[in-house]
Chain A
Amino acid sequence: MPPSQTVKIGAESRRQENPFIKNALIVISLLFTLLMLVMPLLVVVTQAFGAGWANFARAVTDTFTVKALQLTLLTTVIAVAANTLFGLTAAWCLTRYRYRGQSLLITMIDLPFAVSPIIAGLIFILTYGRLGWTHSFLEAHNLKIVFAAPGIVMATIFVTIPFVAREIIPVLTARGTDEEQAAVLMGAGFFRTFFYVTLPHIRWALVYSVILCTARAMGEFGAVSVVSGHLRGKTNTLPLHIEILYNEHHYREAFAVSAILVITSIVILTARSVVERIAKKEVNQSVR
């Protein structure tokens, strides 16, 4: 037995585990991460910049790319804002009171996670499309939802509904309602109680969930693809634009546009890690 493996007293005694197994597991993890997570990122970046900076710049400043970027930004802002307000409201209403049917309501909020994005698109086509029951009304008022921007926004909202609510409900459940009750009994109104008593506790969970919600809203493909109609320059989002470029064998351009989204998702991941670290630090301090 090598000396490192002999039993030592104190802190070292934990490290008796077979070092071969430990190293093997670390190597497996590093290799798996390299193959599955790092290489896809590298391939996008090398393909995007492989033909030089000028080609990259030309691809990302193309009129259709810019239009797609605008639609993606608009959709993301609306969907994230709507779902943040909804998530806070739903979390409050599901954790501050008790009534029948609460778990049914939670199931309905969770539903979009269980549904394939393609089905998420399909249900909006069936509701607002040519055969939908709202069609004659929409036609009469000259409103277009499916194969237009409103449909894209609605499908994106559907797909990202659970993010904020799901993250905040457990935090509020764990805290209980004592502090809100005290605040209200001392004369605070609804908004005052929410902003001064509840919000400070859920602040980081809120930021965290908004970050993840943004990532999903920005990158949604399946649901948006079904309702979009793929009109270039009109109902094309960035992910759909990438698909078109790729299928037309404009690989360089497809990867150049992808690089924008890769950079955005790395920013999102970094923000997520930072928020997580700050939140942990605050929890530790409040425990002390």
Chain B
Amino acid sequence: MSQTRQSKKVIPGFGLTMGITMSYVGFFVLIPMISMALQAAQLSFKEIVQVATDARVLSSYKVSFGCSFLAAAINVVFGTILAWVLVRYRFPGRRLIDGLIELPFALPTAVAGIALTSLTTDKGWIGQPLSHLGISVAYTKVGIVTALTFITLPFMVRSVQPVLEQLSPDYEEAGRTLGAGSFTIFRKIVLPELKPAVMTGFSLALARGLGEYGSVIFIAGNKPFQTEIAPLMIVTRLEEFLYGQATAVAMFMLFASFMIMFMVNRLQIRAARFVEN
């Protein structure tokens, strides 16, 4: 403690950097967020109840939450497999895949949206064979899940990958020498180590999925009560200049994402403790 108190005196620039940081955060984050809180405080009880019980809004929450959950769950499986394959195996094309994993972060969401839509319509490369099987992807919930799976894939892979890199194959080898099968080794040795990272990746993917807009609106079709997502409800209310209602919908969404982020922080703290031990 005494050392840290000293460092405050020794290293110059505290006032300057603190001043810049606080003003910047204040101007770009705090003031706008407070403005929304003020707007929310002006809402009448009636307005809140109206929005909270609006069937169309409720169904949009259901669509958003259900599809984000499914997409995050799909990425638990495929994201973990991808991370495993990238860390443990050497094969032609590995570097290319490793580089492509972050494509969903680098590609503008609108581009991803129209690309996935044109792939999965009944005339698309993937949509056409699927339509013969009676499955339609674009303009259904399946399409929303597809877009969210694409967008949130990097969260899962990049959460699990560093943990796997630290995990020495020696333990698995020991298990194998003692006669354990591949499934037992995965369940008893690998999975417990991966759990915190998978949970973190899942929560990050869920939070991102709930808020995602650009990639989803193209593929969703936006049919009321079926494929409307929660962020779209804010947009439609803004277009009708119903700022109060838009704020109310947004507050409910914010609450959900804060709960998820809170969970992520708890998990990361626990994971950090785990590593220290």
Contacts and interface: CB of A to CB of B under 8 A. Distances in A.
> Do chains A and B stick together as partners?
yes
11 contacts: A16-B173, A25-B81, A25-B84, A40-B115, A44-B115, A86-B20, A112-B29, A115-B254, A161-B29, A226-B238, A258-B111
A94 B84 CA distance: 35
B8 interface: yes
A41 B103 contact: yes
B13 interface: yes
Given A93-B18, A133-B38, A116 B8 contact: no
A63 interface: no
A116 to B, nearest CB: 3
A44 B111 contact: yes
B35 A127 contact: yes
B153 interface: yes
Interface in B85-132: 85-86, 89, 91, 93, 95, 97-112, 114-116, 118-119, 124-126
B11 A258 contact: no
Interface in B116-162: 116, 118-119, 124-126, 149-150, 153
Interface stretch (B44-52, B54-62, B191-199, B206-214): B206-214
B188 to A, nearest CB: 15
Contact of B82 (A33, A90, A262, A268): A33
Nearest to A88: B17
Contacts of B81: 25, 28-29, 32
Contact of B33 (A16, A111, A180): A111
Nearest to B30: A108
Contacts of B238: 122, 125, 226
A161 to B, nearest CB: 6
B105 A215 contact: yes
B76 interface: no
Interface stretch (A53-61, A96-104, A136-144): A96-104
Interface residues of B, number: 90
B12 interface: yes
B12 A16 contact: no
Contacts of B253: 116, 119
Interface in B15-44: 16-18, 20-22, 24-25, 28-33, 35-36, 38-39
Interface of B: 4-5, 7-8, 10-14, 16-18, 20-22, 24-25, 28-33, 35-36, 38-39, 78, 81-82, 84-86, 89, 91, 93, 95, 97-112, 114-116, 118-119, 124-126, 149-150, 153, 169, 172-173, 176, 182, 207, 210-214, 218, 231, 234-235, 238, 243, 246-247, 250, 253-254, 257-258, 260-261
Interface of A: 13-14, 16-18, 21-22, 25-26, 28-30, 32-33, 35-41, 43-44, 47, 86, 89-90, 92-94, 96-99, 105, 108-112, 114-119, 122-127, 129, 131-133, 154, 157-158, 161, 177, 180-181, 184-185, 189-190, 193-194, 212, 215-216, 218-222, 225-226, 238-240, 242-243, 246, 251, 254-255, 258, 261-262, 265-266, 268-270, 272-273
B12 A239 contact: no
Given A25-B84, A119-B211, A41 B115 contact: yes
Contacts of B93: 30
A269 B85 contact: no
Counting from the closest, the 6 A-B pairs by CB-CB distance are A219-B108, A116-B211, A221-B214, A93-B17, A222-B213, A123-B32
Contacts of A126: 32, 35-36, 39, 243, 247
A277 B107 CA distance: 21
A131 B246 CA distance: 13
A251 B117 CA distance: 12
Given A97-B11, A111-B29, A118 B150 contact: no
Contacts of A266: 106
B7 A177 contact: yes
A43 to B, nearest CB: 5
Given A40-B119, A157-B28, A242 B11 contact: no
B221 to A, nearest CB: 13
A13 B164 CA distance: 20
B82 to A, nearest CB: 5
Contacts of A269: 99-100, 102-103, 106
